[in-house]
Structure 1
Amino acid sequence: MRAMSPLSLLRSIRSFGLSGAASQMGWSFLLALFPSLILLVAAFDLLPLETRVEALTTELLAGVSPQIAGLLGDFLEGFARHRPPGEILLWFIPALWASSRGVRAARQGLQKIYGVPPKHRWLPMRLLDLVWALLALSLTGLGFLILIAGPQLLQFLGSVFNAESLFGQLATWFRWPFVVAILASFSALAIRVLPGVPLPRAAWLSGSGLTLGAWLLLGLSFRYWLEHLGHFEKIYGGLASFFILMFLLWLISWALLLGGFLAASLRLPASEPPIS
Protein backbone atom coordinates (compact mmCIF):
# COMPACT_ATOMS: atom_id res chain seq x y z
CA MET A 1 0.00 0.00 0.00
CA ARG A 2 1.54 3.30 -0.98
CA ALA A 3 1.12 6.57 0.83
CA MET A 4 0.26 9.69 -1.13
CA SER A 5 0.47 13.29 -0.09
CA PRO A 6 -2.66 15.42 -0.52
CA LEU A 7 -1.02 17.28 -3.42
CA SER A 8 -0.08 14.04 -5.18
CA LEU A 9 -3.58 12.75 -4.60
CA LEU A 10 -5.13 15.84 -6.21
CA ARG A 11 -2.75 15.57 -9.18
CA SER A 12 -3.62 11.92 -9.68
CA ILE A 13 -7.34 12.65 -9.50
CA ARG A 14 -6.96 15.46 -12.01
CA SER A 15 -4.96 13.23 -14.39
CA PHE A 16 -7.89 10.84 -14.68
CA GLY A 17 -10.37 13.53 -15.72
CA LEU A 18 -12.84 12.39 -13.09
CA SER A 19 -14.97 15.49 -13.55
CA GLY A 20 -15.77 14.53 -17.14
CA ALA A 21 -16.43 10.93 -16.16
CA ALA A 22 -18.75 12.10 -13.37
CA SER A 23 -20.62 14.33 -15.84
CA GLN A 24 -21.15 11.40 -18.20
CA MET A 25 -22.36 9.24 -15.32
CA GLY A 26 -24.69 11.99 -14.12
CA TRP A 27 -26.36 12.30 -17.53
CA SER A 28 -26.73 8.52 -17.74
CA PHE A 29 -28.26 8.36 -14.26
CA LEU A 30 -30.65 11.19 -15.16
CA LEU A 31 -31.66 9.29 -18.29
CA ALA A 32 -32.40 6.21 -16.18
CA LEU A 33 -34.16 8.02 -13.35
CA PHE A 34 -37.59 8.79 -14.81
CA PRO A 35 -38.35 5.43 -16.50
CA SER A 36 -37.07 3.56 -13.43
CA LEU A 37 -39.29 5.54 -11.06
CA ILE A 38 -42.27 5.10 -13.38
CA LEU A 39 -41.61 1.35 -13.49
CA LEU A 40 -41.49 1.19 -9.69
CA VAL A 41 -44.74 3.14 -9.33
CA ALA A 42 -46.50 0.96 -11.90
CA ALA A 43 -45.20 -2.26 -10.32
CA PHE A 44 -46.15 -1.25 -6.77
CA ASP A 45 -49.61 -0.26 -7.93
CA LEU A 46 -50.22 -3.91 -8.88
CA LEU A 47 -49.35 -5.20 -5.41
CA PRO A 48 -52.05 -5.68 -2.74
CA LEU A 49 -50.74 -2.88 -0.53
CA GLU A 50 -52.83 -0.28 1.29
CA THR A 51 -50.69 2.53 -0.07
CA ARG A 52 -51.80 5.35 -2.36
CA VAL A 53 -49.57 6.60 -5.14
CA GLU A 54 -49.01 9.89 -3.29
CA ALA A 55 -47.71 8.00 -0.25
CA LEU A 56 -45.54 5.84 -2.48
CA THR A 57 -43.93 8.82 -4.20
CA THR A 58 -43.35 10.41 -0.79
CA GLU A 59 -41.55 7.23 0.28
CA LEU A 60 -39.52 7.06 -2.92
CA LEU A 61 -38.40 10.68 -2.65
CA ALA A 62 -37.97 10.91 1.12
CA GLY A 63 -34.22 11.38 0.94
CA VAL A 64 -34.04 14.23 -1.58
CA SER A 65 -34.67 17.94 -1.33
CA PRO A 66 -38.23 19.37 -1.45
CA GLN A 67 -37.53 20.97 -4.83
CA ILE A 68 -36.50 17.69 -6.45
CA ALA A 69 -39.24 15.76 -4.65
CA GLY A 70 -41.84 18.21 -5.96
CA LEU A 71 -40.60 17.91 -9.55
CA LEU A 72 -40.48 14.10 -9.58
CA GLY A 73 -43.58 13.65 -7.40
CA ASP A 74 -45.82 15.71 -9.70
CA PHE A 75 -44.54 13.78 -12.70
CA LEU A 76 -45.12 10.35 -11.12
CA GLU A 77 -48.55 11.21 -9.73
CA GLY A 78 -49.62 12.57 -13.10
CA PHE A 79 -48.47 9.35 -14.75
CA ALA A 80 -50.36 7.26 -12.18
CA ARG A 81 -53.60 9.16 -12.88
CA HIS A 82 -53.32 8.77 -16.68
CA ARG A 83 -51.59 5.44 -17.11
CA PRO A 84 -51.43 3.92 -20.59
CA PRO A 85 -52.37 0.23 -20.93
CA GLY A 86 -49.52 -2.25 -20.52
CA GLU A 87 -47.38 0.22 -18.58
CA ILE A 88 -45.19 -2.46 -16.97
CA LEU A 89 -43.92 -3.77 -20.30
CA LEU A 90 -43.98 -0.28 -21.79
CA TRP A 91 -41.61 1.10 -19.15
CA PHE A 92 -39.58 -2.02 -18.34
CA ILE A 93 -37.64 -1.88 -21.61
CA PRO A 94 -36.64 1.83 -21.44
CA ALA A 95 -35.92 1.53 -17.71
CA LEU A 96 -33.65 -1.46 -18.27
CA TRP A 97 -31.93 0.14 -21.26
CA ALA A 98 -31.41 3.50 -19.55
CA SER A 99 -30.22 1.84 -16.34
CA SER A 100 -27.74 -0.24 -18.34
CA ARG A 101 -26.35 3.01 -19.76
CA GLY A 102 -25.79 4.22 -16.22
CA VAL A 103 -24.09 0.94 -15.32
CA ARG A 104 -21.91 1.23 -18.41
CA ALA A 105 -20.86 4.78 -17.54
CA ALA A 106 -19.98 3.74 -13.98
CA ARG A 107 -18.06 0.70 -15.22
CA GLN A 108 -16.07 2.71 -17.74
CA GLY A 109 -15.26 5.40 -15.18
CA LEU A 110 -14.03 2.86 -12.63
CA GLN A 111 -12.07 0.91 -15.25
CA LYS A 112 -10.33 4.11 -16.27
CA ILE A 113 -9.28 4.64 -12.67
CA TYR A 114 -8.08 1.04 -12.30
CA GLY A 115 -6.09 1.23 -15.52
CA VAL A 116 -8.15 -1.46 -17.27
CA PRO A 117 -7.82 -1.17 -21.07
CA PRO A 118 -11.12 -0.77 -22.93
CA LYS A 119 -12.59 -4.04 -24.18
CA HIS A 120 -13.87 -4.28 -27.73
CA ARG A 121 -16.30 -7.12 -27.04
CA TRP A 122 -19.34 -4.90 -27.39
CA LEU A 123 -22.15 -7.46 -27.22
CA PRO A 124 -20.92 -9.41 -24.14
CA MET A 125 -20.24 -6.19 -22.24
CA ARG A 126 -23.65 -4.74 -23.09
CA LEU A 127 -25.34 -7.96 -21.99
CA LEU A 128 -23.38 -7.82 -18.74
CA ASP A 129 -24.47 -4.21 -18.24
CA LEU A 130 -28.09 -5.28 -18.75
CA VAL A 131 -27.70 -8.01 -16.14
CA TRP A 132 -26.26 -5.57 -13.60
CA ALA A 133 -28.95 -3.02 -14.43
CA LEU A 134 -31.63 -5.66 -13.82
CA LEU A 135 -29.96 -6.52 -10.50
CA ALA A 136 -29.88 -2.84 -9.51
CA LEU A 137 -33.56 -2.36 -10.38
CA SER A 138 -34.49 -5.53 -8.48
CA LEU A 139 -32.48 -4.48 -5.43
CA THR A 140 -34.06 -1.04 -5.49
CA GLY A 141 -37.55 -2.47 -5.86
CA LEU A 142 -36.97 -4.96 -3.03
CA GLY A 143 -35.69 -2.19 -0.80
CA PHE A 144 -38.71 0.02 -1.36
CA LEU A 145 -41.03 -2.98 -1.01
CA ILE A 146 -39.61 -3.66 2.45
CA LEU A 147 -39.76 0.03 3.35
CA ILE A 148 -43.40 0.32 2.31
CA ALA A 149 -44.80 -3.11 3.15
CA GLY A 150 -42.66 -3.58 6.26
CA PRO A 151 -44.57 -1.10 8.47
CA GLN A 152 -47.88 -2.60 7.34
CA LEU A 153 -46.64 -6.08 8.26
CA LEU A 154 -45.36 -4.87 11.63
CA GLN A 155 -48.66 -3.12 12.26
CA PHE A 156 -50.50 -6.38 11.56
CA LEU A 157 -48.15 -8.32 13.87
CA GLY A 158 -48.61 -5.67 16.54
CA SER A 159 -52.38 -6.08 16.39
CA VAL A 160 -52.00 -9.87 16.64
CA PHE A 161 -49.70 -9.74 19.68
CA ASN A 162 -51.40 -6.66 21.18
CA ALA A 163 -48.18 -4.64 20.99
CA GLU A 164 -48.90 -1.93 18.43
CA SER A 165 -46.62 0.67 20.02
CA LEU A 166 -43.64 -1.71 20.21
CA PHE A 167 -43.91 -2.82 16.59
CA GLY A 168 -44.48 0.78 15.51
CA GLN A 169 -41.22 1.78 17.20
CA LEU A 170 -39.43 -1.12 15.49
CA ALA A 171 -40.59 0.16 12.11
CA THR A 172 -39.18 3.60 12.93
CA TRP A 173 -35.89 2.29 14.32
CA PHE A 174 -35.08 -0.01 11.41
CA ARG A 175 -36.09 2.38 8.62
CA TRP A 176 -32.88 4.34 8.13
CA PRO A 177 -30.46 1.49 9.01
CA PHE A 178 -32.12 -0.44 6.22
CA VAL A 179 -31.69 2.47 3.80
CA VAL A 180 -28.00 2.68 4.74
CA ALA A 181 -27.66 -1.07 4.16
CA ILE A 182 -29.13 -0.70 0.65
CA LEU A 183 -26.71 2.13 -0.16
CA ALA A 184 -23.81 0.09 1.23
CA SER A 185 -24.79 -2.81 -1.04
CA PHE A 186 -24.79 -0.53 -4.08
CA SER A 187 -21.39 0.99 -3.29
CA ALA A 188 -19.80 -2.39 -2.51
CA LEU A 189 -21.14 -4.05 -5.66
CA ALA A 190 -20.11 -1.12 -7.86
CA ILE A 191 -16.53 -0.88 -6.59
CA ARG A 192 -15.93 -4.60 -6.11
CA VAL A 193 -17.61 -6.07 -9.19
CA LEU A 194 -18.13 -3.49 -11.96
CA PRO A 195 -14.47 -2.88 -12.95
CA GLY A 196 -13.83 -6.61 -13.42
CA VAL A 197 -10.43 -6.62 -11.67
CA PRO A 198 -9.39 -8.52 -8.52
CA LEU A 199 -9.28 -6.36 -5.40
CA PRO A 200 -8.10 -7.15 -1.87
CA ARG A 201 -10.86 -7.07 0.68
CA ALA A 202 -9.34 -4.11 2.50
CA ALA A 203 -9.20 -2.12 -0.75
CA TRP A 204 -12.80 -2.54 -1.84
CA LEU A 205 -14.13 -2.22 1.70
CA SER A 206 -12.25 1.07 2.13
CA GLY A 207 -13.41 2.36 -1.24
CA SER A 208 -17.04 1.42 -0.73
CA GLY A 209 -16.93 2.82 2.80
CA LEU A 210 -15.67 6.15 1.46
CA THR A 211 -18.41 6.21 -1.17
CA LEU A 212 -21.10 5.33 1.38
CA GLY A 213 -19.91 7.99 3.81
CA ALA A 214 -19.75 10.57 1.02
CA TRP A 215 -23.28 9.71 -0.12
CA LEU A 216 -24.68 10.07 3.40
CA LEU A 217 -22.80 13.31 4.06
CA LEU A 218 -23.78 14.62 0.65
CA GLY A 219 -27.46 13.88 1.23
CA LEU A 220 -27.54 15.62 4.61
CA SER A 221 -25.44 18.65 3.68
CA PHE A 222 -27.05 19.11 0.27
CA ARG A 223 -30.53 19.03 1.76
CA TYR A 224 -29.59 21.58 4.43
CA TRP A 225 -27.92 23.82 1.84
CA LEU A 226 -30.96 23.82 -0.41
CA GLU A 227 -33.42 24.49 2.40
CA HIS A 228 -31.47 27.26 4.13
CA LEU A 229 -28.84 28.67 1.75
CA GLY A 230 -29.63 27.80 -1.86
CA HIS A 231 -32.82 29.74 -2.72
CA PHE A 232 -32.57 28.45 -6.31
CA GLU A 233 -36.27 28.85 -6.95
CA LYS A 234 -35.91 32.65 -6.60
CA ILE A 235 -33.07 32.75 -9.13
CA TYR A 236 -33.92 30.12 -11.74
CA GLY A 237 -37.66 29.64 -11.27
CA GLY A 238 -38.92 26.42 -12.84
CA LEU A 239 -35.43 25.45 -14.02
CA ALA A 240 -34.20 25.20 -10.44
CA SER A 241 -35.37 21.62 -9.89
CA PHE A 242 -33.67 20.31 -13.02
CA PHE A 243 -30.45 22.16 -12.23
CA ILE A 244 -30.42 20.86 -8.65
CA LEU A 245 -31.15 17.29 -9.75
CA MET A 246 -28.37 17.30 -12.35
CA PHE A 247 -25.89 18.79 -9.89
CA LEU A 248 -26.81 16.21 -7.24
CA LEU A 249 -26.34 13.32 -9.67
CA TRP A 250 -22.96 14.73 -10.65
CA LEU A 251 -21.88 14.84 -7.00
CA ILE A 252 -23.17 11.30 -6.43
CA SER A 253 -21.08 10.13 -9.39
CA TRP A 254 -18.05 11.94 -7.98
CA ALA A 255 -18.45 10.10 -4.69
CA LEU A 256 -18.50 6.73 -6.45
CA LEU A 257 -15.41 7.57 -8.50
CA LEU A 258 -13.52 8.77 -5.42
CA GLY A 259 -14.28 5.49 -3.69
CA GLY A 260 -13.00 3.64 -6.73
CA PHE A 261 -9.87 5.80 -6.76
CA LEU A 262 -9.16 4.92 -3.12
CA ALA A 263 -9.67 1.21 -3.81
CA ALA A 264 -7.37 1.39 -6.85
CA SER A 265 -4.69 3.13 -4.78
CA LEU A 266 -4.86 0.57 -1.98
CA ARG A 267 -4.60 -2.42 -4.32
CA LEU A 268 -1.09 -1.41 -5.47
CA PRO A 269 2.07 -2.48 -3.66
CA ALA A 270 4.30 0.22 -2.20
CA SER A 271 6.92 -0.13 -4.93
CA GLU A 272 4.50 0.32 -7.82
CA PRO A 273 4.23 3.81 -9.35
CA PRO A 274 0.91 5.66 -9.47
CA ILE A 275 -1.54 4.77 -12.20
CA SER A 276 -1.47 7.15 -15.12
Structure 2
Amino acid sequence: SAALELIRGTVEEVVAERGGGKLSLGLLAALWASSSGVAALIRGLNTAFDVTETRPWWYQRLAALGFTLLFGLQVAVGLTGIFYGETIGAWLAGKLDLGDYFPLVWAVTSSLALVLFVVVTFDLLYNLAPYVDGYAWRWASPGAVFGVSIWLAASFGFRLYLDHFDSYGRTYGSLGTVIVLLLWFHLTGAALLFGAEVNSEILKAERDSLEG
Protein backbone atom coordinates (compact mmCIF):
# COMPACT_ATOMS: atom_id res chain seq x y z
CA SER A 1 0.00 0.00 0.00
CA ALA A 2 1.03 3.63 -0.28
CA ALA A 3 1.55 4.04 3.46
CA LEU A 4 3.73 0.96 3.71
CA GLU A 5 5.80 2.13 0.76
CA LEU A 6 6.19 5.52 2.46
CA ILE A 7 7.51 3.81 5.59
CA ARG A 8 9.87 1.67 3.54
CA GLY A 9 11.14 4.75 1.72
CA THR A 10 11.67 6.62 4.97
CA VAL A 11 13.61 3.71 6.48
CA GLU A 12 15.82 3.43 3.40
CA GLU A 13 16.41 7.19 3.39
CA VAL A 14 17.55 7.12 7.02
CA VAL A 15 19.83 4.14 6.37
CA ALA A 16 21.37 5.84 3.32
CA GLU A 17 21.83 9.19 5.11
CA ARG A 18 25.41 10.43 4.89
CA GLY A 19 25.18 13.51 7.12
CA GLY A 20 26.42 11.75 10.23
CA GLY A 21 26.48 14.81 12.48
CA LYS A 22 22.98 15.94 11.59
CA LEU A 23 21.67 12.39 11.86
CA SER A 24 23.25 11.91 15.30
CA LEU A 25 21.77 15.17 16.62
CA GLY A 26 18.40 14.25 15.18
CA LEU A 27 18.50 10.82 16.80
CA LEU A 28 19.46 12.30 20.17
CA ALA A 29 16.61 14.81 19.97
CA ALA A 30 14.18 12.07 18.96
CA LEU A 31 15.43 9.85 21.81
CA TRP A 32 14.86 12.58 24.39
CA ALA A 33 11.41 13.45 23.05
CA SER A 34 10.38 9.80 22.79
CA SER A 35 11.50 9.13 26.36
CA SER A 36 8.81 11.56 27.55
CA GLY A 37 6.19 9.35 25.94
CA VAL A 38 7.75 6.26 27.51
CA ALA A 39 7.75 8.02 30.90
CA ALA A 40 4.00 8.51 30.48
CA LEU A 41 3.68 4.80 29.66
CA ILE A 42 5.56 3.93 32.86
CA ARG A 43 3.10 6.07 34.81
CA GLY A 44 0.32 4.12 33.12
CA LEU A 45 1.92 0.84 34.21
CA ASN A 46 2.14 2.16 37.79
CA THR A 47 -1.57 2.93 37.60
CA ALA A 48 -2.32 -0.54 36.24
CA PHE A 49 -0.49 -2.09 39.22
CA ASP A 50 -2.08 0.40 41.66
CA VAL A 51 1.26 1.71 42.94
CA THR A 52 2.63 5.19 43.60
CA GLU A 53 5.91 6.24 42.00
CA THR A 54 8.47 7.16 44.68
CA ARG A 55 11.71 6.74 42.75
CA PRO A 56 13.74 9.95 42.16
CA TRP A 57 13.07 11.91 39.00
CA TRP A 58 16.53 11.24 37.56
CA TYR A 59 16.01 7.50 37.94
CA GLN A 60 12.65 7.78 36.20
CA ARG A 61 14.22 9.71 33.29
CA LEU A 62 17.11 7.24 32.94
CA ALA A 63 14.66 4.34 33.03
CA ALA A 64 12.54 6.05 30.37
CA LEU A 65 15.61 6.55 28.17
CA GLY A 66 16.60 2.91 28.59
CA PHE A 67 13.14 1.64 27.71
CA THR A 68 13.02 4.02 24.76
CA LEU A 69 16.15 2.35 23.40
CA LEU A 70 14.49 -1.02 23.97
CA PHE A 71 11.42 0.16 22.06
CA GLY A 72 13.67 1.44 19.30
CA LEU A 73 15.27 -1.99 19.02
CA GLN A 74 11.82 -3.60 18.89
CA VAL A 75 10.73 -1.22 16.13
CA ALA A 76 13.96 -1.82 14.18
CA VAL A 77 13.57 -5.59 14.42
CA GLY A 78 9.88 -5.38 13.53
CA LEU A 79 10.37 -3.13 10.51
CA THR A 80 13.28 -5.25 9.29
CA GLY A 81 11.15 -8.37 9.50
CA ILE A 82 8.18 -6.73 7.78
CA PHE A 83 10.03 -5.12 4.89
CA TYR A 84 13.12 -7.24 4.39
CA GLY A 85 12.35 -10.65 5.94
CA GLU A 86 11.51 -12.33 2.64
CA THR A 87 14.47 -10.70 0.91
CA ILE A 88 16.88 -11.90 3.61
CA GLY A 89 15.45 -15.44 3.44
CA ALA A 90 15.75 -15.58 -0.35
CA TRP A 91 19.30 -14.22 -0.21
CA LEU A 92 20.37 -16.82 2.36
CA ALA A 93 18.74 -19.61 0.34
CA GLY A 94 20.61 -18.60 -2.80
CA LYS A 95 23.90 -17.79 -1.10
CA LEU A 96 24.11 -21.00 0.92
CA ASP A 97 22.21 -23.24 -1.53
CA LEU A 98 19.65 -24.20 1.12
CA GLY A 99 16.94 -25.39 -1.23
CA ASP A 100 13.55 -24.17 -2.39
CA TYR A 101 11.82 -24.77 0.95
CA PHE A 102 14.17 -22.63 3.02
CA PRO A 103 12.31 -19.33 2.40
CA LEU A 104 9.17 -20.91 3.90
CA VAL A 105 11.09 -22.29 6.87
CA TRP A 106 12.77 -18.91 7.29
CA ALA A 107 9.42 -17.09 7.23
CA VAL A 108 8.00 -19.33 9.96
CA THR A 109 11.06 -19.32 12.22
CA SER A 110 11.69 -15.57 11.85
CA SER A 111 8.03 -14.85 12.68
CA LEU A 112 8.23 -17.03 15.80
CA ALA A 113 11.50 -15.33 16.79
CA LEU A 114 9.86 -11.92 16.40
CA VAL A 115 6.93 -12.96 18.61
CA LEU A 116 9.34 -14.30 21.25
CA PHE A 117 11.32 -11.06 21.14
CA VAL A 118 8.17 -8.98 21.68
CA VAL A 119 7.07 -11.21 24.59
CA VAL A 120 10.49 -10.73 26.23
CA THR A 121 10.22 -6.96 25.65
CA PHE A 122 6.79 -6.84 27.30
CA ASP A 123 8.01 -8.90 30.27
CA LEU A 124 11.06 -6.67 30.73
CA LEU A 125 8.74 -3.67 30.99
CA TYR A 126 6.41 -5.44 33.42
CA ASN A 127 9.34 -6.58 35.57
CA LEU A 128 11.31 -3.32 35.63
CA ALA A 129 9.14 -0.33 34.74
CA PRO A 130 6.41 -0.18 37.43
CA TYR A 131 7.42 0.39 41.05
CA VAL A 132 5.87 -2.76 42.52
CA ASP A 133 7.29 -3.82 45.89
CA GLY A 134 8.01 -7.53 46.10
CA TYR A 135 7.07 -8.25 42.49
CA ALA A 136 8.61 -11.59 41.47
CA TRP A 137 10.24 -11.72 38.07
CA ARG A 138 8.09 -13.53 35.54
CA TRP A 139 8.92 -14.65 32.02
CA ALA A 140 6.27 -15.46 29.42
CA SER A 141 3.78 -14.11 31.96
CA PRO A 142 0.05 -14.36 31.20
CA GLY A 143 -0.09 -10.59 30.82
CA ALA A 144 2.74 -10.57 28.28
CA VAL A 145 1.16 -13.39 26.27
CA PHE A 146 -2.22 -11.64 26.38
CA GLY A 147 -0.73 -8.25 25.50
CA VAL A 148 1.32 -9.64 22.61
CA SER A 149 -1.76 -11.48 21.31
CA ILE A 150 -3.64 -8.17 21.23
CA TRP A 151 -0.63 -6.49 19.61
CA LEU A 152 -0.39 -9.16 16.91
CA ALA A 153 -4.12 -9.02 16.17
CA ALA A 154 -4.12 -5.21 16.08
CA SER A 155 -0.97 -5.09 13.93
CA PHE A 156 -2.40 -7.66 11.51
CA GLY A 157 -5.70 -5.81 11.26
CA PHE A 158 -3.88 -2.52 10.81
CA ARG A 159 -1.74 -4.07 8.08
CA LEU A 160 -4.86 -5.30 6.27
CA TYR A 161 -6.36 -1.82 6.50
CA LEU A 162 -3.24 -0.23 5.06
CA ASP A 163 -3.12 -2.80 2.26
CA HIS A 164 -6.75 -2.39 1.17
CA PHE A 165 -8.22 0.84 2.54
CA ASP A 166 -5.24 3.13 2.98
CA SER A 167 -5.81 6.84 2.42
CA TYR A 168 -2.86 8.26 4.40
CA GLY A 169 -0.40 8.25 1.52
CA ARG A 170 -2.81 9.82 -0.95
CA THR A 171 -4.05 12.46 1.49
CA TYR A 172 -0.98 13.40 3.53
CA GLY A 173 2.00 12.34 1.40
CA SER A 174 5.19 11.88 3.43
CA LEU A 175 3.37 12.96 6.59
CA GLY A 176 1.41 9.72 6.25
CA THR A 177 4.53 7.86 7.43
CA VAL A 178 4.45 9.71 10.74
CA ILE A 179 0.70 9.20 11.16
CA VAL A 180 0.91 5.47 10.49
CA LEU A 181 3.82 4.95 12.89
CA LEU A 182 2.14 7.00 15.64
CA LEU A 183 -1.01 4.91 15.32
CA TRP A 184 1.06 1.74 15.51
CA PHE A 185 2.85 3.05 18.63
CA HIS A 186 -0.55 3.82 20.16
CA LEU A 187 -1.70 0.24 19.51
CA THR A 188 1.51 -1.08 21.07
CA GLY A 189 1.06 1.06 24.19
CA ALA A 190 -2.56 -0.05 24.56
CA ALA A 191 -1.55 -3.71 24.27
CA LEU A 192 1.12 -3.18 26.95
CA LEU A 193 -1.38 -1.66 29.36
CA PHE A 194 -3.95 -4.41 28.77
CA GLY A 195 -1.30 -7.01 29.56
CA ALA A 196 -0.26 -5.09 32.67
CA GLU A 197 -3.86 -5.17 33.92
CA VAL A 198 -3.88 -8.96 33.55
CA ASN A 199 -0.65 -9.35 35.53
CA SER A 200 -1.91 -6.88 38.13
CA GLU A 201 -5.09 -8.89 38.72
CA ILE A 202 -3.08 -12.11 38.99
CA LEU A 203 -0.75 -10.45 41.52
CA LYS A 204 -3.72 -9.23 43.58
CA ALA A 205 -5.26 -12.72 43.56
CA GLU A 206 -1.96 -14.26 44.71
CA ARG A 207 -1.61 -11.76 47.56
CA ASP A 208 -5.23 -12.25 48.62
CA SER A 209 -4.74 -16.03 48.72
CA LEU A 210 -1.62 -15.64 50.88
CA GLU A 211 -3.35 -13.24 53.26
CA GLY A 212 -6.40 -15.48 53.41
- Given the two structures, how large is their TM-score scaled by the length of structure 1? 0.58
Alpha carbon RMSD of aligned pairs, Å?
3.7
For residue 82 of structure 1, report the CA deviation from its aligned partner.
Answer: 5.5
1:210 aligns with 2:137: no
| Matched letter for residue 93 of structure 1 | L
Note the 1:14-163 alignment, pairs <5 A.
Answer: 66-79=1-14, 83-86=18-21, 89-119=24-54, 121-138=56-73, 144=80, 151=89, 152=91, 155-156=94-95, 158-159=96-97, 163=98
1:219 aligns with 2:165: no
From the superposition, tell whether residues 164 and 182 of structure 1 become closer, same or farther in structure 2 (CA, over 3 Å): same
For residue 259 of structure 1, report the CA deviation from its aligned partner.
Answer: 0.8
For residue 220 of structure 1, report the CA deviation from its aligned partner.
Answer: 1.5
Gaps of 5+ in 1: 1-65
Larger gyration radius, structure 1 or structure 2: 1
Distance 1:68 1:153 in 2: 28
1:188 aligns with 2:119: no
Distance 1:170 1:231 in 2: 30
**What is the number of residues matched between the two proteins?**
201
From the superposition, tell whether residues 120 and 81 of structure 1 become closer, same or farther in structure 2 (CA, over 3 Å): closer
| Matched letter for residue 161 of structure 2 | W
From the superposition, tell whether residues 138 and 214 of structure 1 become closer, same or farther in structure 2 (CA, over 3 Å): closer
From the superposition, tell whether residues 92 and 189 of structure 1 become closer, same or farther in structure 2 (CA, over 3 Å): same
Gaps of 5+ in 2: none
Residue of structure 2 equivalent to 1:238: 172
| Matched letter for residue 258 of structure 1 | F
From the superposition, tell whether residues 133 and 202 of structure 1 become closer, same or farther in structure 2 (CA, over 3 Å): closer
1:172 aligns with one of 83, 107, 116: 107
Residue of structure 2 equivalent to 1:255: 191
- Given the two structures, how large is their TM-score scaled by the length of structure 2? 0.72
From the superposition, tell whether residues 74 and 212 of structure 1 become closer, same or farther in structure 2 (CA, over 3 Å): same
| Matched letter for residue 149 of structure 2 | G
